[in-house]
Amino acid sequence: MITIEVNPEISRTTSRRLAHLINIEFVIGNSAEVLPTIAKRLAGATVFWLDGHYCGPGTGADIDECPIVAEVEALKSCVNPIILIDDARCFLGPPPPPHKSEHWIGIDDLFNLLWKNFPNHVTTILDDVVVCVPKMLKPVLDEDWHSNFAERYPFSSTQSGVFPRLTNFARRVLARLGN
């Protein structure tokens, strides 16, 4: 396992905490810069957990809150990468302050980026994670989707307060359109 962290202090503290695990390599750096080199030296199926973004003081905001574009581009050199992007909600709309929303891309751009670079993958969102896996793994995705559907979506839209929110949204859309 290789883990990348831009804040040296966080990396050192974590590596001390996990010193009993012998198979982790701790890399200090900006993932946008170090991931391309790391990705090129990997062979075989590799899981990428992409969760390297700003999450509070001292966690990389001054560079770029969300280096996802460079990270995804870096994985082009891998054979059949399994790509998991955490915090999908942050791409569904501009993340609220203290985030700098201009540092983030939207979910449509993220999906386009994944489709362009991995045309033989399937892409969806499971819980709060964007999942992009080789097509051969689609049966695993589908099985997870079927087994967990009721747990993920226990309420109908009328029970869960979704309908009033949607009605409100539709009213604001119509108002903006001048109706």
- The least CB distance from residue 25 to ligand SAM, in Å, is 14
Element (H, E) at 162: helix 162-176
- The least CB distance from residue 66 to ligand SAM, in Å, is 8
Applying the rule CB under 6 A, the residues between 59 and 78 that interact with ligand SAM are 59-60, 63, 67
Element (H, E) at 132: strand 129-134
Applying the rule CB under 6 A, the residues between 102 and 161 that interact with ligand SAM are none
- The least CB distance from residue 53 to ligand SAM, in Å, is 5
Report whether 51 contacts 86 (CB < 8 A).
yes
Cis (ω within 30 of 0) for the bond into 164? no
- The least CB distance from residue 75 to ligand SAM, in Å, is 15
Interface mask toward ligand SAM for 4-23; x: CB under 6 A = xxxx--x-------------
Could you tell me which of 131, 102, 30, 113 has the C-alpha nearest to residue 76? 113
Applying the rule CB under 6 A, the residues between 27 and 56 that interact with ligand SAM are 30-32, 51-55
Strand arrangement of the beta sheet that strand 121-126 belongs to: 47-50, 82-85, 129-134, 121-126
Tokens (6 digits) for 98: 């203290």
Binding flag, residue 95, ligand SAM (CB under 6 A): no
Q: Could you list the residues that contact ligand SAM (CB under 6 A)? A: 4-7, 10, 30-32, 51-55, 59-60, 63, 67
